[in-house]
Structure 1
């Protein structure tokens, strides 16, 4: 009886914690249907009220929205792709190279996750100024590499520890060249790890604000920075609609990942 009460209490705590975490998102989605031009919850239980979709139609008309969106997607895609190459090579070097202090090097790869984003942003701003790098785009790309590389390196380290490298040697004995063996054996076997690393790295780059704010200029602004500007200049439910679309896109990616890989494997709890 006591065990059942404890399990029930744990389930209740999980439900309350989930509700606490999801409540702000539900408020944002509800606000995006507001019939008034203010951040106001629509009267859902009023029969005479009508939900409005006009804020979704205004997203494309926001000043500088499309350039900011394209810049954000481009930087996120490039940083994720480069991080996949560098992170995978670093993980292979740690797993197979038997480097002295390999565990320390692996910890250094994920160290940016342990620091506040504002601290990293200020440090990168000072470093780039000392190095003479004043262009916003390359500075953003390098900074986002620092953001995305830890996710890729950590995920690939976990995936490579379960990979049997003798399969590559067997493929070479059967006539495959080394690059062909990598493409035909390692890449398919590590496809779930590649997808998981890409997923988290892309989202980390796309949603980054505390580092990007120090490295943008008047003509080069990512979408999170533009959204902050919209809040300061003309706040209305259009921002809630844009946030709802970003949330919907994230959920869609999660569903795709669940179908292709499985949430358990993406979370690192599956085989």
Structure 2
């Protein structure tokens, strides 16, 4: 075996080990969710769906899940509009400091979530916003906007703006030219960034914990409460449902766009 083949073998082996290391906890969670034992242990004494049945009768879980989905949907849609406009302005604008502005918009990804949460709490209190839903939407727009802006900005480098001008010369209005020419071309970027933004919103804890109250909680906060008060495999069943949801989202994205095109962004 020459050095090149040895290098490829070693690289593939390391990749396989890293994948196993990252996926093993998910496999354990799914296996625990089908255990009949009232505690987290493997191997399971026998397989059962009792924890999924208990999940359906969990008090308050429906309201918590609906709040998380509603916040994630609204914040993702708002971030798609704002992030796309910001990306277009940065990519094709004629002003100084565009790179600094892009770094500023992406900075929430590089800052600790607790810092952003405390800052948002103080700002929203100063402006007098006491509504939990509004505060959560604003906070989640802050954390989802970087995904949209960075991905769309990268895809705009591959888009020729002269196509919009050509569409306008053929009789389309500016709005219709953007909708019929730019949006289809950037659809993979919108879908990819939207998926990541939605999942990031659903999974966010460090910012949401500062913006919720005792009556309105998001799903990650409720899961932590379950762990503190009644730790049983119901939490594993809930986590398995979230894993399944992420798989379904990726499957739909692959069917609609293609995984190869998704990976480009």
User: How far off is 1:123 after superposition?
Assistant: 1.5
For 1:182 and 1:6, the matched residues in 2 are separated by 47
Aligned to 1:46: none
Which stretch of structure 1 is more off in the superposition, 121-130 or 139-148? 121-130
User: CA offsets per residue over residues 15-74 of structure 1, 9 Å max, x none?
Assistant: 11111111111110110011111111234xxxxx53101111121211210001000000
User: How far off is 1:13 after superposition?
Assistant: 0.9
For 2:224 and 2:101, the matched residues in 1 are separated by 36
For 1:80 and 1:239, the matched residues in 2 are separated by 26
Aligned to 1:12: 13
Q: TM-score, normalised by structure 2?
A: 0.96
Q: Aligned-pair RMSD on alpha carbons?
A: 1.2
For 1:5 and 1:256, the matched residues in 2 are separated by 37
Q: Of 251, 254, 262, which aligns to 1:258? A: 254
- Are 1:245 and 2:241 an aligned pair? yes
Unaligned runs of 5+ in 1: 44-48
Aligned to 1:58: 54
For 1:95 and 1:198, the matched residues in 2 are separated by 19
Matches within 5 A, 1:72-111: 72-111=68-107
> Secondary structure at 2:35's aligned position in 1?
coil
Q: Of 192, 205, 209, which aligns to 2:205? A: 209
CA contact (8 A) 1:171 1:181 kept: yes
- Are 1:157 and 2:153 an aligned pair? yes
Aligned to 1:118: 114
Q: TM-score, normalised by structure 1?
A: 0.94
For 1:60 and 1:16, the matched residues in 2 are separated by 36
CA contact (8 A) 1:42 1:51 kept: no
User: CA offsets per residue over residues 204-253 of structure 1, 9 Å max, x none?
Assistant: 10110111011110111011111111111111111101100100110111
User: CA offsets per residue over residues 105-150 of structure 1, 9 Å max, x none?
Assistant: 1111100000011111112112222222222111111000001100
Detail structure 1 runs of 4+ shifted over 3 Å in the superposition.
Answer: none
CA contact (8 A) 1:76 1:206 kept: yes
For 1:109 and 1:221, the matched residues in 2 are separated by 27
Aligned residues: 264
User: How far off is 1:83 after superposition?
Assistant: 0.5
